[in-house]
Every structure is written in C-alpha cells, then in structure tokens.
Structure 1
Amino acid sequence: MAFQLWLFCPSTYSTLIFSADAGLATAAKSRATAIHFPVKIARGIVARTVTAAGAIRKPKAGHSTRLLSSGSLPPLIGAKQLSQARWLLAALVGLALALAFPEPRWLGLAWLVPGAWLAVVAGERRWRLFGMAFVAALVFRLVSLRFLLNMPHAAGAIGGWLALSFYSALYPAAWAWLCAGWLRDGLAKLEWPWFRRLGFGMFAAAAWVALEMLQSRLLGGYPWNFLGVSQFENFALIQIASVTGVYGVSFLVVWASVSLLFAVLQIRRSPANPWSWMADVALPLLALGLVCGWGIVRIAGVPASTKKLTVALVQPSIPQQLIWQGNTGDERLAKVLELSRLALATKPDLLLWPEACAPITAERWPEVFDMVKSSGVPLLFGADDVERVSGSDEVRYFNSAVLLTPDGLQLPSYRKRRLVMFGEYIPFEKALPFMKYLSPIGGSFSAGTEPVQFTLQAGEHTLAPLICFEDSFPHGGREHVSAETDLLVNLTNDGWFGAGPEQWQHAANAVFRAVENGVPLIRCANNGLTCWIDSLGRVRQFYGQETGDIYGAGFVSFEVPLGQALGQMVYNRHGDVFGWACLGWVLGVAGVRRFRAKRGLHTGGGIG
C-alpha cells in the first residue's frame, strides 16, 4: 500500500511531497519510509531523499520529476492558481481588519493582520506588489466605511463611499508596499539574524504610525479608524495614548504582529527546537506587558473627583431627509423642545442638544430663551452662525456651537474648524461648479479659526466644544484642551448614516481624545451614540444601554466627574513627539536605503 501527500507553500512557490510505502511482509522485506523535499519549482527540481535511517542520498535522475507528474493525488495548486490565490488572500486580510472595528469589533484580528498582510505580498515585485497591498487596503476601507451607503443622497452615497475608500486605502497600501520591499525575495529566503528581524519589526510599526500621521493631516485630514482604535475596549493597553496618542497603540499592534510572523517562520525552519520562536516575540511581549501593567496601575490610581456636573442630553433622532427639507424647522424644534422639558425635570446643571438638529428662527427664539431662563439651566446647542464680511456683500456661514445661559448668549460662539468634504463644503466650488451636484448641501460653510472654551457656574467649570468628527483628530482634540479644561463636549449629527456601525466607530475614535488629554468627554448625538467617556477612555453610560436601541429618540441624564484627575497628560503638553519621531525614522531609513542603492552598496538585506 502506498500514498503520497502533496503540499504547496504559497510564500515560496515550493512543493513538499510526503511519500510513504508500507508493506505487510516481514521486517527484512519492508521498505523504509521516505520523505522527499524538492526545492523551488521555478528553478527546476533537485530532490533529496531523507531515509528513515537518517542517510541523505541524491535520487536517480528523473525521479523527482516522476513524483511531480504521477501518483494517486494530483498537485493541489499550480503556479497560476497560486497567483490567483494570493489576490484572494489579500482580500481576506482586508476583510479581517475591517472586522476588528465596530461592528463586530473582533479586536483580536487586528493583532494578526499586519503580519499576515506582509506574508501575502512577500516575494512580489513593483506594481504587482502594490496591487495586492491595495486590494487588501481597499477591502478594509470598503467594508468598514459601508455606513456611507446609508446616506439618503444616492449619488453622493455611492460616490463618496468609493472615493473615500480609494483615497484612505492608499495609506495602509503604501505601508505594505514599503515594508514588503525588503521581502522581495520571499519569506523562504529570509535568513536575517535576530537583531535584523527585531529592527524590521520596529521599523514596520514606525512606518504604520508615520502614514497615520500623514493621513490625519493631508487634504484636511481623515483620521478615521486608525489601527489603534480597534483596541478601544482594551483599557489597560490604551493608557499609553496619554503619552504617545493613539499612535502608540498602533505601533505596539504592528510590532507584535510582524514579530509573530517571524516567530512562525522560525518554527518552520527549526521544528526540532520548540523554543525557536521565543527570541522574536520576547521583546514585543515584554513591552506589551509593561504597558498593560502600567495601564492597570494607572486605572487603579485615579483619585475620586470632587467636582461633578449633571448633564441632560437630548437625542431627537431626526432623519437626515427631514433636516434637508426647508419647511420642517418648526416641527423639528417642537420635538426637541418637548424632549428638553422632560430632560429638565431631572434637575441637570447643563442641557445639551446635538449638532444641526433644529433651526431657531427669530420668531421661535423667545420660546427657547424662556425655557433656559425659567429653568436656570444653560443650553449648549449646535446652530448655523451667519457673518457678513465687512465692506462687501459676502455672507459667511459657520457650523457653530452656542452656549445660551439664563443671562443670554455667552460669546464668542465656537465655529467648527475642520469641515467635512461634500457634507459641509464643496471642494473647488467656484472653479468646478458641477461639483455641487455631488452633494445635497447646496452651499459651503466657512471654517472657524480657533478653539473656544465656555465657562459654567460663574467660571467654576470650563468645557471645550467639538463638532461632528472633530473628536477623531488627535492633534485637533489636543488644541482644545488647556490646563484649566474640565470637560470635552462633542455635538454631532450621525443621522446622515442611518442606523449602522458608524455610531460606534465614531465613539471608538472619540475614546482616545479622552485618554490623550486626561479629561472626560460627553457626546450628544442626533441618533447615537450619545454617551459619556471618562478620562481613562471607558464608555461609562450611553443612551439605549438598557433597551439595546442606541438610535431612537429620547433623553438621558449623566452625572460626570470633572477635571484632569491625573494632571495634564504628556500628550496634551507635548503633542505628537512620538508620531513625528516615527516619521523621521522612516524617512531617514528610506533615504539611507536609496543612497546606498544609488551607490551600488545596497545588498537587498534588511534595515540598517
């Protein structure tokens, strides 16, 4: 009786042929079991046979060829099919990364993806390499940004989903293309010593951070779903963001993932040594242990706050189609006022309305002011602010946050500084008038120029407002928090995206602004997620927590401890020192590599 098992290794384009012959005759007549290992098919097959007795001999001419062309089992995959399989694997890598974010937030997948990504594209060259890297990144973005398809403007929904996915996919694709350049001969030929594998793992992590830094700034910035954000529920780990920003979490995830890839390669090379993988993962595991240990101590050591504020938040859940209809303003305002009166019955210290929920006309303004004056509770709400340019007929519109107190408006109002493309402004509107048809907004808002802080209770408390996705910008959130800031408040309208994963993704991004700046953050949303997040990044309470419906209409009241309980954070004081250092390291290594290549000194090795 005989059998052959054919196994193909995708990363090396090689075939492992396990053959065994067994007889039922006596031991003297039985044939020994043999294992044949042919090397790369592309270079011709030179097989050697390892016998059961341990002797190594060269097979007869043509023997290995017969093994490849005969037998009871055909090869599982050929070179062409293998190439196609790599494209499919790249798409699966992107899907896995998307699943690490809400929803379903399987955060463990994020620790596997960067290493798996490099394993899929290793050995590829130039545009084929970038193509596979881009497929993985594009699938990740298309799946994670699928909520854009819920927008009620069909042309804008599909066009925006595709355009934003293609654009934001360029950054992680560039990472895979850059790092896989060192792996162009394939993983099978990778024979780096330990220190070089360590250096490459840290370089890959720094490169990921560098590209996230660029993504948060170029073309106005789109810092959505950075890799570290996938870990928003890992409270011990994310405390490092108080020093490095969210970028430190991204760094650790990539470093651990690439190190795990090298550990797997070491196991394959030295199956007889069960501890061969330890050298590659020892330092990343030590770093993770120290960071998480420090995080646990930090969480346990937060002193109780002596200042607290009871905040009532109105979530009207007004459909975006209704907001775009110009004749619905009174109806929307009536709904918000009704919910507000119910919320005021809880005796809060502050009342919040979300962004863009209802216009307040001159005729309805006295009704709103009377409610605030009679209750004695200040109201922070989103409104459209209008300003006429001095000496001209030009009128500017701003998306603003306004604080109305029993004594009147507290000026200046806060004007949103980072606008959403096609949602709040139309790019190249004057030069390319047709662009306005890609958006339902009709006209563009102007951007504000500086942060504003509001004071409550005769200056006893200080809060800083953010509007819409401004709570996704690490450096932007930092600019709003001073040493005196007690609370961050985000007013947002996520009703654009219906009921879907966007609400939780937005909240997950906001978690890091609380950790980075050491202050609690309250989010008041049109249709979720209305919640408050403590200074350690824990979502403590949210609307719909009891019912499971975070999207419905209603109100909720939170008692929030105020202030920077652990003092001013390192990140808040010094900003993106870690991120800029990673970017500088990557540029330095790339520059040296290019210089050595031009001088003919580059050997195709690793980092350094």
Structure 2
Amino acid sequence: MITRLYGQAGLSHIRATVLALVSGLLLAAPLLYPPLFALMWLAFVPLLIAVHRATLWQAYVWGLLSGLTLGMAAAYWIIDFLMLSKGYGFMLSLVWGALFWLYTAQLPALIILLFAWLRRRTGLHDYILFPVTTAALCAVFPLLFPFRPGETQTEFLMALQAAALFGVSGLDFIIALVNIMLLHALLRLSRLATLLPALGLVVAWFLYGWYWLGQWDELVARQDTISFGLVQPNERPTLQRSPVYPGYSRAFPPEMEMTQRLAAAGAEIVVWPEARDKDYFQDKAVARAFTNVIDNLDISLIFQDIESSEKGSPASPVVQYNTAVMIANDGQEAARYRKMKRIPFGEYVPLVSDVPALRVRAENFLGEFLNEIAAGQAYEDFTTAAVTMVPLICYETVFPVFVAEAIASVARAETGPGRPGGLLLAMSSNGWFGATRQPYQHVHSAILRAVENRLPMVHVVNNGPSVVALPHGRIIFMSPPQHAGGWLVDVPVASNFDSSFFSQYPHIFRYFLLGLLGACIALALTRLKSPNSRRIDDRQ
C-alpha cells in the first residue's frame, strides 16, 4: 500500500509535508513522556518515506520541517527559560526561541540531507548509511541541549545495557537501524540476504541486554547499601543574593535543618543540589558553622557554592568557580571540585569571554543570566570509607565522554587494595525552566551515564525531580518536581571501585562512526568527480 503513495516523481508535497510533521511529533513524544519510548524506534520512518525519492533540496527542507516540529514540541520550555532568566516578555522570548528551534532543527535536516546524498553517490546500503549518519551526527553536532535518541529509552532497560560497551551512540545506531529496516519492510526494498545481518545485529543487541539486565538485578541485590539524604529546597531561580528566611540565618539555612532531620533518620551522606549562594567560601563564620554542625552530626555533607579566587589574569584579577565541596564526618573540609564543563551563554560566551571588550558587550546583552565563571582544571573525587563519589555539576551529566574520562581519572588515582566502590553524584538546578518537562529530560538523559559507566547515580535537583538510578538504569527513587523536602534513599554500592568498557575507552565507537562516515563521504566525493559516476536511487 505504501508504494502506491508514489507517482512518477515520488510523493506530493502535501503528503511529504504531513509525513515530515508526523515524524517530528514522533521524535518529540518520548522526550515529553518517557513511557512512549517505543515511538522512537519508528519515528524517522515517515520522514524517510517523504524523502525516499526527493531531491536533495527537498530532503533538507522536509528534514528541517521535521526538526522544527521536534524542537517546538519537545523544547517548548525555551520560552519559559528566556522569560525567567532574561525577564523578556513573551513575544521577544518567542523570537529568540524560534532562532533556537531553527538552529536545533539543523541536526535532523543534516542527517536526512547527508543520508540522501550518500545513498545517491556511494552505492552503499541504507542499513549502513542511515545508522552511521544518524549516530555520528548526534554524537558531534554542537547543541546547548543535545538530542540523542538513545536517551529517550530509560524505561526500556533491555535496550540500555550495551551502552556500557558502546555508549549512547551505540543505542542511537541501533534505533536508526531499526527505523531504516522498517522503511525497507514497508517499501519492500530489501532482499533477505541483506535483511538477515541487520536483523541479527538488532537481536544480538537485545539478547545482550536481556542477559545483563538479569545479571545486574542479581548483583545489586547482594550489594551493601549506603543511606543518602537528598535535600530539595525548591528555591526560585535568581542570580541575586538569596534572602534569609525567617527563623534561619546564613550560618543555618533551611537545608541545614533538613540535614539534621535526615541525619537523625540514619543518613550517612547528605547532598544539597546546585542552588543559590551559601556564602561558605566568602564568610568564615558560615564555614565554621557548617563544619561544626557536620562534626556533631557525624555525617558527610556535599553541596555546591560559588567560589572566588584572586588568581585570575591581569584583565580579570578575580575569577569565580562553580564549586562542589565535601565536609567529612569529622567536620573537616575533605575535597573541592570546580566545574569544568560550563554552560555557553550562561557561564561564559564562546570565543568572547577571553576578550575584555567583547566580554563587556556580551554582559550588557545577556544581562543577569550571564554569571561568568572560570572552568575547573582537574577531575576530583569525594571519598568516604564506604564509597568513592565522582561529582558532576549541572549539565556536565549530558557529556558522555567527559563523564567517562572523569571516572577513568578517579580510577587511575584510586590505587591499592580495598578501595571503596564508585558512584556518580550530580547536583543540578533546573528552576530556570519553570514547571516544564525540561527537568525530566535532563535527569533521564543523565541516567544513561550510570549505564554507560556501570555506576549508580545520585542526581539531586533544586526544583526536582531528584533521581537515584542503578548501574543498569533501574530508577529506585524519583522525587516530586516543584516540591521542597528531604528524602532518605538506600543506594546499593559495590565494595570495590570498578567501571565499564566504555569508561575505559569512551572514544572507540565514536571514532569508528566518524571514521566510517568520513570514508563514505570520501567515496561519494570520489564518485562525484568520476566521469562514469551516476545517480543511484533505489538499490536492493
């Protein structure tokens, strides 16, 4: 029936446009509501049908239309973000939001355009070209909030497990492969000889997932647990100095009272999220008060604050860092971690922040939301007798290679027998996005880092939801969003620090994809220059 949609020149423009819109909505649906994860496995199919016999220009336009639909549906929260962070009115926020959606739409547009061009010029099978193009571009295309199909699959645990070998890019590859296989089934394009190897690869991926999902369920059931106290203050987002609430003080904020309650309930480690300034680094009286309370409670406390240093450059003698700090159960500061991956246009301006004249203009334009900070220079770990924690701040959780390299750095530093097991500890604040789905998108994306590196993750978020996930992606706790409170969660942790294949070799599959894509492009260019080159449309 599908083949009857085509005339001599392919689909009509109206039908192709409708299919592109449908594809964009299918791509967006799992980002808005994770239980719809299955839609991602067929989301590209309508768009692929639309561009099957289209020109390259048409392929780009329909890919762009699909990308715009995806952006407007799944990233509608950019309007809230601009209104809260910049104080813009709705119409001005809509204009900037439209530019944001237009840029993010380039990713699906380029995927479809490059795939359409390669399939015309290389003679290689779609089962190679589409998965390689999709996974490679999703891995390297620069986005403020990355789009990776695999990060929509956190409720499909069997699909996640092989990410410990290949990272989320491997799952992106498999999702794209299933999409192109469905297209060929609908249009009856593939012979059995080409279908079987692709089907075998998909089956192998899921058999691996089925086996290791069961193995990890059994493994974590035998592990000892550590009681983590999660504090979620639900503060309103602002870069101004935070108020002192009635009955509290700088030295004794509401978070500290909740910490006392959690300690009394049995917490061994209490974590506060990324939120407003605590004055821990600026006020020695606050620092003494914090350490005295923790010493009396006999727990470890981890929190984030803004740290100032006078070791900057002559142009900027005072620099600030977004810093996580750990106070051990003896009341002594045990470690600090300075955030290394900064948010473009929020914590620095690419190519501008290091030029004083341009920096001033950027500060005037971006206003309050530009809170210029310096990048940290080293990975750190927060270690107790029971656990080695790898700290991550804010959007550091969305960088797979960065997280893997942090774990590898800690693993190299942790030498000797009897070292405690590992855990990913993330502290974030998503209040700038209001009561939207963006905080859910953030924490579900971060869960892939737990699976990739085979470590549990505790992710504490200022406005929620805060999440605890196990090394195979199973969520054992999720707090309600837009709600203040404290929760005690028993987290299984291995007795020894270990990691995954991906943690040790995070670049291998990505470099393989990029190398293969580069070879395809080189082949296409060679055939383009050849006097005997010809257009290749439908190959079996």
Provide TM-score, normalisation by structure 2: 0.86
- Structure label with greater radius of gyration: 1
Query: Partners of 2:271 and 2:96 in 1: how far apart?
Result: 30
Question: Per the alignment, in what secondary structure is the counterpart of residue 383 of structure 1?
Answer: strand
Alignment of 1:406-445 (within 5 A): 406-410=329-333, 412-427=335-350, 428-429=352-353, 430-431=357-358, 433-436=360-363, 437-445=365-373
The answer for the alignment partner of 2:231 in structure 1 is 314
Query: For the residues of structure 2 that align with 1:222 and 1:364, how far apart are their CA atoms?
Result: 35
Corresponding residue of 2:452 = 516
Give the SS at the match of 1:325: coil
Corresponding residue number in structure 1 for 2:463: 527
1:337-369 CA-partner distances (Å, limit 9, x unpaired): 232222222121101000124423524333322
Partners of 2:245 and 2:278 in 1: CA distance: 8
Shift of residue 440, structure 1, vs aligned partner: 2.1
Identity %: 22
Residue 406 of structure 2 is matched in structure 1 by 480
Instruction: Report the Cα offset of residue 498 of structure 1.
Output: 1.6
Q: Deviations over 1:152-186 (max 9, x none)?
A: 1343854663343333322221110011225679x
The aligned residue for residue 238 of structure 1 is 160
Q: Tell me the equivalent position of 2:417.
A: none
Question: Would you say 1:394 and 2:317 are equivalent positions?
Answer: yes
- Structure 2 Cα separation of the partners of residues 173 and 399 of structure 1: 36
Distance 2:374 2:482 in 1: 30
Asked whether the equivalents of residues 596 and 602 of structure 1 are also in contact (C-alpha less than 8 Å), the reply is: yes
1:478-532 deviation line (CA, Å, top 9, x unaligned): 0121345611100000111122211221111111111111110100110112121
TM-aligned CA distance change 1:474 to 1:350, over 3 Å? same
Q: Partners of 2:279 and 2:135 in 1: how far apart?
A: 43
**Higher RCO by CA contacts (8 Å cutoff, separation 6 or greater):** 2
Whether the aligned pair in 1 keeps the contact of 2:235 and 2:275 (CA below 8 Å) is: no
Work out whether residues 147 and 501 of structure 1, in 8 Å CA contact, stay in contact via their aligned partners in 2: yes
Shift of 1:9: 6.6
- 1:284 pairs with 2:231: no
Richer in helix (by share) = 2
User: Could you tell me how far apart the structure 2 residues matched to 1:170 and 1:370 are?
Assistant: 53
* Equivalent in 250, 255, 261 of residue 342 of structure 1: 261
Q: Secondary structure in 2 aligned to 1:285?
A: helix
Q: Is the 8 A contact 1:118 1:180 kept in 2?
A: no
CA separation of 1:255 and 1:442: change in aligned 2, threshold 3 A: closer
Question: How has the CA–CA distance of structure 1 residues 456 and 163 changed in structure 2, closer, same or farther, with 3 Å as cutoff?
Answer: farther
Pick one of 256, 269, 279 that aligns with 1:360: 279
Within-5 A mapping of 1:122-521: 122-151=52-81, 152=84, 153-155=86-88, 158=94, 161-181=97-117, 199-215=125-141, 218=142, 222=144, 224-266=146-188, 281-302=195-216, 303-304=219-220, 305-320=222-237, 323-326=238-241, 328=243, 334-360=253-279, 362=283, 363-389=285-311, 392=314, 394-410=317-333, 412-427=335-350, 428-429=352-353, 430-431=357-358, 433-436=360-363, 437-457=365-385, 460-482=386-408, 483=411, 486-521=422-457
Q: Is the 8 Å Cα contact of residues 47 and 62 (structure 2) preserved in structure 1? A: no
1:596 equivalent to 2:527? Answer yes
Shift of 1:470: 0.7
SS in 2 for 1:499: coil
Go from structure 1 to structure 2 and tell me whether the alpha carbon gap of 1:439 and 1:148 turns closer, same or farther (over 3 Å shift).
Answer: farther
State the alpha-carbon separation in 1 of the partners of residues 96 and 293 from structure 2. 40
The 3 A distance-change label for structure 1 pair 387 and 163 is farther
Question: 1:529-568 to 2 correspondence within 5 Å?
Answer: 529-544=465-480, 550-563=481-494, 567-568=498-499
Cα deviation digits, residues 437-493 of structure 1 (max 9, x gap): 334235411111221111113xx4211100001111110110121345611100000
Contact 1:533/1:540 (8 A) holds in 2:
yes
CA distance in 2, matches of 1:344, 1:161: 44
Question: What TM-score, normalized to structure 1?
Answer: 0.77
Q: Is the 8 A contact 1:384 1:398 kept in 2?
A: yes
Classify 1:326/1:567 alpha carbon distance in 2 versus 1 (closer, same or farther; 3 Å): closer
**SS where residue 150 of structure 1 aligns?**
helix
Distance 1:172 1:413 in 2: 40
Write the distance in 2 (CA, Å) between the matches of 1:467 and 1:41. 52
- How far 1:222 sits from its partner (Å)? 4.0
Q: CA deviation at 1:259?
A: 1.2
Give ranges in structure 2 of 5+ residues lacking alignment: 415-420
Question: Which letter does structure 2 place at the counterpart of 1:449?
Answer: Q
Aligned-residue RMSD, C-alpha: 2.9
